[in-house]
Amino acid sequence: MSTQQRSFFFNVDWLTVFLYLILCAIGWFNIHAAVFDANHSSIVDTSTNYGKQFIYICVSIVVGIVILLLESRFIAALAPAFYVVIVLLLVLVLIIGRNVGGNQAWINMGGGFRLQPSEFAKFATCLLLARYLSGTNIRVTDPKSFLMAAAIIGFPMLLIMLQPDTGSTLVFCSLIFVLYREGLSPYFLIIAGLFITLFVTSLLYNPLYIILILVALTAFIIFLFKRNRQLIKTMVIGLAICIAFIFSVKFIYSHVLKKHQTERINILLGITTDLRGKGYNVNQSKIAIGSGKLWGKGYLHGTQTQYSFVPEQSTDFIFCTVGEEWGFAGSLTVISLFMFLILRVILIAERQRSPFTRVYGYGVASVLFFHVVINIGMTIGVVPVIGIPLPFISYGGSSLLSFTMLLFTLIKLDSNRKSNV
Amino acid sequence: MNKFFERRYVVTGIFIAIILALLGRLYYIQIVDDRYTIYANSNVRRTTILYPARGPILDRNGKILVQNEPIYDVMINPKEVKPFDTLLFCKMIGIDKEGFDKRFIKAKRQSPNTASIFEKQLSVELYAALQEKLFEFPGFSIVPRTIRTYPDSVAAQFLGFIGEVTDRDIKRSNGYYRLGDYIGVTGVEKAYENVLRGQRGVQVQMVDSHGAFKGSFANGALDTVPRSGERLTSSLDIDLQRLGEKLMQNKLGGIVAIEPSSGEILCYVSSPTYDPNLMVGRQRGNNLAKMYNNPYKPFFIRPIQAQYPPGSSFKPLSALIALQEGIINPNETFYCTGNYRVGNRIVHCNHGEAHGTVNMAKAVAESCNGYFTMVFQRIVDRYGVKNTEANFVAWRNNVMKFGLGARLDLDMPAESRGNVPTPLHYDNAYHKGGWRSSTIAALAIGQGELLATPLQLANLECTIANRGFFYKPHLIKAIGTENVIKKEYVEKNYVGIDSGYFEPVINGMEAVVENGTARRSKIPDIIMCGKTGTAQNPHGEDHSVFVAFAPRDNPKIAIAVVVENSGEGAHWAAPIASFIVEKYLKGKVTPRESGFTVDYFANANRLPDLSLYAQDLQKERRRDSIRAAKVDSIKKFKADSIKKFKADSIKKERREAAYNNKPANWIKTLTGGRTGKS
């Protein structure tokens, strides 16, 4: 027993734990700066966001330790049950949930605390996906298996879309990287990239020009490979689909997307500017980050932060505080920490003998990556504003707890990598 | 290990590429692009300008002419306004409900979240009452400021006034002034704006996203303390000024008195004048409009803007030039028959008097037109009629050395040049070579195209008093507490006449007062040398002119008085001048043999009949009043000068008819029917 204990201790990936703790600490300090008020200067005052965040961090660490003490086999075994519970909660939130900011995403827990099931849905989905894809005779290349995997991802997505929480919905799209790693055709990635590009460009420019460019490009490729009839056929069909997509963009834009979504996209693409209204948030956020220069204005000295020019600053726009008070040095530090963490997670995933842990690890990396890129991207105005938090740093108990569970489950699984699960 | 192992590199590659792109963008907006720092600063910084107190202005004895008085602006922050007793509030600050709504809407539109001015310049009394009740009116606050106040209400045209800057002022100042700032508009306030305004301070504060103040920026590193404007010591004597304004009330005209030994202006009266206190406070706009519409033009600064024909007061100067040029010997006699023939015209002495045998002193004392026309002709013809132009130019240059026909660079804005006609003027009027001494003979007796401001006339007297030089006249004798004086004011300006030539002329001028035209204005125990003038002009009755200095030896004061449209110099200008001279030299006015009293002259009304102004007014109302008036008179003069005698005669007749309808022919009652000379 004692040798097992020691090996467990040494098998825990302390580097990941260390990165996690640093990120949590950075988050806490920046939340403190974001909501700092000279009248409540104690950093652990529980009536304030940073005081609450301190509690969340403590709870998360306890939960992390509990996870590390769990039996690895339980985790895989309990995955479907956990998934079902989360799905039920997602249904429940649609019925009894509290509507905050247009999203019916919270369940009141009493005592001023609220639970956001969609945050935990990522964790549950990753687990079940890992469990499913690690099953015998399951190959993503097999259409039946692919559809099943897509269903596992799609079901919670659908429920979250009904809240409607676009940000959290889109997070699930990042799991395409998991499927790719497990054998999904690269065309999915390419086509996804192509469609995103077409969507943006056809909003920015006259669709006619884009179609002309596409036709010219296709003609050129066909000219190069005129012997390859199969390729010609694919290219022509592809072209037809692209053109159809371009024409449908306007329709999607005006009928499928919500008004606030199209406004956010318009502002991002510079189609409309509305610095006092819809564009206020992003503009002020850019001003905060941009005015940080190299070394920043110093802790509690960011004028944008201290004088509350950026709304939602302790949650979705927490990166403004980092950018303003710590400058590019701070931005670089935080992004580097995330990059190390993500690369470390991929490394952990790849060193597993168990496919379950590997698939799960890729899930963790993909979700983290998506959150970091989209969150920071929206604060500097390169992606539309979709409210998703910055992992470990943004204020919010559900978010912190779910990311802690996500990460510590991987650490736990990794610590058992020598034994076959 | 497993089939798609190599795909880890693809995924890692995509992740790293996208994160690097994000970092690149961050590098751009944080390090490369400087705009955001500017935006952030403009978000959070609010610069408040701290206005310094404007410099006070004292008279030569240290008595206060202008000082600052606290007043109170009511500010409103529309966001903080809660329901209150509107009616009471309106009553307290003296506005009606309609005015309240108008101001409230304006403030709300201007700045809904920050304070803006609701009502300007509350008096101390209103402020005291409002201050007690202020807590009942949430959203309103009071900001103290200062305004100008004039304890003695004198010297309005000298002091001028301040007003809000115009767009042009802002442009011209390269952005020093901002909208709502005050700037000197006229008078000394304008001339010494840079000294009086002091140095503004700034206070940079920080505001949050709601515009609420959050303390000073960078611990006040950018803040500067305002520095009060410099104190100006004027050369005016407030008692003399008060007496001058009293004497000139209900008359048009000006008085300038100068200390010959320094060029300091002692008295600077422009009549009609106004109470400078009307130009501040809440009624300023109404008062301004009233003043602009006043047909007697109180904003017309007569001592330096009005240009009068000097008339006979010019004769001493004529005599001096002739002496210097060796044209005439002071003892040389001339027989006056009462009229003198120039070309095909005849110059009459006033009132058809024949002076008989006159020498220079007597000619000055009795104002013999014939004598001076003769002298003038000799000057202009001295090198033959073919050289008329050159001779005239030489004469003109001599005249201009006395400061006539050009600005004296008084330390006040809007000074007029006066006029000494150029040869070109006559070339245009006749043709080149088409004019002779006889053509322009009217210049000899200060008529024709000659024009001078009262300031120029007073300066002329200074030069005679000093026997040949003058100091540049000025109104500010010292700047600041260190009493800085401009260098140009302590330099003598010589006029090119040897001091020896002055005595015969001064003898004549002494005789003017002792037993000549102005003998009724003789001051007991003081020898005053003067010269009366009766200036014919195209605007109506003659202007009454008197110039003088006193005492004869070691003169302390030189003075010029013009009373418009009042007839002869001896009747109005001379007595007024004598009171001022006496007051300055003795500190009081003593009873006169002639029975002249200050009260009589102060109470007399010599304002011209408004109906005579009607035509001029209609013309001028179409233009801007002050400047137009100046330009107009010159233009009109040029146009009229030649044909004056013909064209004006009809108009004049009509005017004279109007005057004759006046009930009292006061001159007769005063002088016992005897008409004086001028």
Domain of A193, in residue numbers: 2-204+258-415
If one compares B306 and B200, the residue with the highest pLDDT of the two is B306
Do the beta carbons of residue B261 and residue B462 sit within 8 Å?
A: no
Last residue of a domain, one of A194, A220, A244: A244
Rounded Cα distance, B379 and B321, in Å: 9
Task: Evaluate if residue B635 carries a pLDDT over 60.
Answer: no
Tokens of B172: 């011209």
**Mean pLDDT, residues B516-538 taken together:** 90
Classify residue B215: in a domain, yes or no.
Answer: yes
Report which of residues B344 and B171 the model is more confident about: B171
Question: Which one is predicted more confidently, B12 or A273?
Answer: B12
- Kindly determine whether residue A181 and residue B35, on different chains, have CB atoms separated by under 8 Å: no
In this model, does residue B43 exceed pLDDT 60? yes
**Tokens, residue B452:** 């001078």
Partner-chain contact A293 B12, CB within 8 Å = no
Residue B394, domain CATH: 3.40.710.10
The pair of three-digit structure tokens given for residue B587, joined into one six-digit string: 């500190």
The answer to which of A128-132, B373-377, B567-571, B619-623 has the lowest mean pLDDT is B619-623
Same domain for A407 and A337? yes
Structure confidence at residue A243 (pLDDT): 85
Q: In the 8-state DSSP scheme, what is residue B165?
A: P
Among residues A124, A69, A30, the alpha carbon closest in space to that of A321 is found at: A30
The shortest C-alpha distance from B235 to chain A (Å) reads: 54
Of B599, B442, B463, nearest to B529 by C-alpha is B463
Output the CA torsion sign for A368, A374, A375, A376: positive
Question: Is B124 within 8 Å of chain A by CB?
Answer: no
Let me know whether B579 and B635 are in one domain.
Answer: yes
Task: Count CA atoms within 13 Å of residue B226 on its CB side.
Answer: 18
Work out the mean pLDDT of chain A and round it to a whole number.
84
Question: Rounded CA gap, B39 and A284, in Å?
Answer: 9
Q: What is the tens place of the pLDDT at every residue in B576-589?
A: 999 999 999 999 99
**CB-CB contact of A388 with A116 (8 Å):** no
Contact B189, B280 (CB under 8 A): no
Nearest 5°: CA angle at A23, between A21 and A26? 110
**Is position A421 within any domain?**
no
How many whole angstroms separate alpha carbon B564 and alpha carbon B55? 35
| Model pLDDT, residue A421 | 44
Categorise residue B139: left if φ over 0, alpha if ψ from -120 to 50, beta otherwise. Answer: left
E-state strands within B370-525: 469-471, 476-479, 492-494
How far apart (Å, rounded) are the C-alpha atoms in residues B470 and B457? 12
Are residues A292 and A382 located together in one domain of the fold? yes
pLDDT at B136 over 70: yes
Task: Work out how many domains chain A is built from and give that number.
Answer: 2
CA of A177 vs chain B CAs: smallest distance (Å): 7
Provide the token pair at A187. 């065309």
Contact (Cβ atoms closer than 8 angstroms) between residue B544 and residue B534:
yes
Give the mean model confidence (pLDDT) for residues B298-322. 92
Is B105 in the same domain as B164?
A: yes
Widest CA span in chain B: 143
For B34-52, b where at least 16 C-beta lie within 10 A, e where not — what string? eebbebbeebbebeeeeeb
Of residues B630 and B516, more confidently modeled: B516
CB burial readout A119-150, b (16+ within 10 A) else e: bbbbbbbbbbbbbbbbeeebebeeeebbebbb
Q: Which ipTM score applies to this complex?
A: 0.89
In terms of domains, do A312 and A395 share one?
A: yes
Could you tell me whether strands B140-149 and B45-50 are parallel, antiparallel, or unpaired per DSSP bridges? Answer: unpaired
Least confident of A344-358, B169-183, B435-449: B169-183
- Which of B198, B213, B232 delimits the end of a domain? B232
- For the beta carbon of residue B361, count every other beta carbon within 10 angstroms: 21
SS3 B56: coil
Q: Compute the residue count for chain A.
A: 421
Query: In chain A, what percentage of residues exceed pLDDT 90?
Result: 28
Contact B185, B177 (CB under 8 A): no
Mean pLDDT of B605-622: 64
* CATH (domain of B107): 3.90.1310.10
Confidence grade of residue A36 (pLDDT, cut at 50, 70, 90): confident
CB atoms within 10 A of CB A50: 24
Question: Which residues in chain B are contacts of A375 at CB distance < 8 A?
Answer: none
**Which two three-digit tokens encode residue A81?**
């049950």
Q: Are A287 and A307 spatial neighbours (Cβ–Cβ below 8 Å)?
A: no
Q: What is the mean pLDDT of residues B70-77?
A: 83
Q: Is A240 on the interface with B (CB under 8 A)?
A: no
- The residue among B232, B250, B271 that closes a domain is B232
- Same domain? B360 vs B457: yes
Query: Quick one: B442 and B348 in the same domain?
Result: yes
CB of A300 within 8 Å of a chain B CB? The answer is no
Contact between chains at A377 and B26 (C-beta distance less than 8 A): no
Judge if B201 and B74 occupy the same domain: yes
Residue B276 falls inside a structural domain: yes
The predicted pLDDT at position B38 comes to 83
What does DSSP assign to residue B228? P
| Closest chain B CA to residue A359 | B8
State the Cα–Cα distance between residues A19 and A221, nearest whole angstrom: 47
Pairing of strands B162-164, B182-184: antiparallel
pLDDT higher than threshold 90 for residue B401 = yes
With a pLDDT cut of 90, the percent of chain B lying above it is 40
Residue B627, pLDDT > 50, answer no
CB B330 within 8 A of CB B359: yes
The DSSP string of A279-319 is: THHHHHHHHHHHTTTTT-S-TT--HHHHTT-STTTTTTTHH
Mark B379-415 as b/e (b = at least 16 C-beta within 10 Å): bbbbeeeeebbebbebbbebbebbbbbeebebbbbbb
Average pLDDT over every residue of B52-78:
88
The confidence band for B671, taking pLDDT boundaries of 50, 70 and 90, is very low
- The closest of A126, A118, A123, A115 to A162, measured between CA atoms, is A118
pLDDT tens track for A133-146:
888 778 888 888 88
How much is the average pLDDT of B242-259? 94
Judge contact between B224 and B78, C-beta under 8 A: no
Same domain, B310 and B254: yes
The verdict on A131 touching B (C-beta cutoff 8 Å) is: no
Q: How far apart are CA B332 and CA B358, in angstroms?
A: 8
Q: Which residues 6+ apart lie within 8 Å of B495 measured at CB?
A: B401, B402, B463, B468, B469, B470
Same structural domain, A300 and A393: yes
Is the pLDDT score of A73 beyond 90? no
In a domain, A252, yes or no: no
Hey, which residues does A100 pair with through a beta bridge? A103
Q: Are residues A293 and A237 in the same domain?
A: no
Check the CA dihedral B434-B439-B441-B447 and report its sign: negative
Instruction: Establish if A420 belongs to a structural domain.
Output: no
> At a CB cut-off of 8 Å and minimum separation 6, what does B411 contact?
B188, B191, B192, B474, B475, B476, B486
Of B207, B232, B257, the residue at which a domain comes to its end is B232
Do A120 and A153 lie in a common domain? yes
Same domain? For A233 and A272 the reply is no
Determine which of B62-66, B119-123, B443-447 has the lowest per-residue pLDDT on average.
B119-123
Of the pLDDT bands very low, low, confident and very high (cuts 50, 70, 90), residue B557 is: very high
CA distance B404 to B401: 7
Identify whether residues B438 and B562 lie together within a single domain.
Answer: yes
User: B8-19 pLDDT, tens per residue?
Assistant: 888 899 999 999
Residue A230 lies in a domain: yes
Q: Are residues B209 and B303 in the same domain?
A: no
Could you tell me if B343 and B481 lie in one domain?
Answer: yes
pLDDT at position B670 is 36
Query: To which residue do tokens 């400087």 refer?
Result: B34
B4 phi, psi to nearest 5 deg: -105, 30
Question: Domains in chain B: how many in total?
Answer: 2
Average per-residue pLDDT for chain B? 84
Residue B253 placed within a domain: yes
B211, part of any domain: yes
Q: B25 touching A, CB under 8 A? A: yes
Range scoring the smallest mean pLDDT among A313-327, B563-577, B630-644: B630-644
Nearest-angstrom CA–CA distance, A34 and A305: 6
Q: Are residues B76 and B129 in the same domain?
A: yes
* A81-136 tens-digit pLDDT: 999 999 999 998 888 877 776 677 778 776 667 788 888 899 999 999 999 988 87
* B586 near A CB under 8 A: no
Residue B46 has pLDDT above 80, yes or no: no
Domain match, B523 and B440 both: yes
Q: What is the predicted pLDDT for the residue at A13?
A: 87
Please report which confidence band the pLDDT of residue A203 belongs to, taking 50, 70 and 90 as the band edges: confident
Ramachandran angles phi, psi of A206, nearest 5° = -65, 120
Domain membership flag for residue B661: no
Same domain for B217 and B269, yes or no, is no
Q: Which pairs count as long-range contacts for A234-241, CB under 8 Å and 24+ apart, including other chains?
A: A239/A214, A239/A215
In a domain, B27, yes or no: no
Q: What is the reported pLDDT for B546?
A: 95
CB contact under 8 A, A309 and B3: no
A184 and A234 share one domain: no
CA distances from B397 to B171, B375, B405, B426, B472 (A): 40, 17, 10, 16, 18
Contact B275, B261 (CB under 8 A): no
**Do A143 and A181 belong to one domain?**
yes
pLDDT for res B8: 87
Max intra-chain CA distance, chain A: 77
Chain A hits for B15, CB-CB cut-off 8 Å, are 339, 342-343, 346, 365, 369
Domain enclosing residue B326, as ranges:
238-640
Over 60: is that where the pLDDT of B659 sits? no
Please report the pLDDT score of residue B623 as a whole number. Answer: 47
Q: Which of B1-15, B438-452, B623-637 has the lowest mean pLDDT?
A: B623-637
The answer on pLDDT for B662 being more than 80 is no
* Coil, strand or helix at A366: helix
Q: Counting beta carbons within 10 angstroms of the beta carbon of residue A259, is it exposed (0 to 12), middle (13 to 18) or buried (19 or more)?
A: exposed
Torsion on CA atoms B409, B411, B414, B415, rounded to nearest 10 = -40
Say yes or no: A196 and A225 in one domain: no
- Whether A383 and chain B come into contact, CB under 8 Å, resolves to no
In the stretch 190-249 of chain B, residues with CB closer than 8 A to chain A read: 206-209, 214
- Is B177 a residue whose pLDDT tops 60? yes
Q: Which residue of A has its CA nearest to B39?
A: A287
Q: Do residues B268 and B475 lie in contact, with contact meaning Cβ atoms separated by under 8 Å?
A: yes
A166 and A297 in a single domain? The answer is yes
pLDDT above 50 for B661? no
Residues A36 and A154 in one domain: yes
Identity (one letter) of the amino acid at A412? K
Interface test with B, best of A133, A136, A303, A382 (most B CBs within 10 A): A303
**How distant is the Cα of B37 from the closest Cα of chain A, in angstroms?**
4
CB-based contact, B30 to chain A, within 8 Å: yes
Using CA atoms of A114, A118, A120, A125 in order, give the dihedral in degrees to the nearest 10: 170
Examine residue A262 and state whether it is found in any structural domain, yes or no: yes
Which of the pair, B80 or A341, is modelled with greater confidence? A341
- Per-residue pLDDT, B135: 81
3-state secondary structure of A17: helix
Q: Which residues of B touch A373 (CB under 8 A)?
A: 18-19, 22
Residues B395 and B441 sit within 8 Å (Cβ to Cβ): no
Within-domain flag for B169 = yes
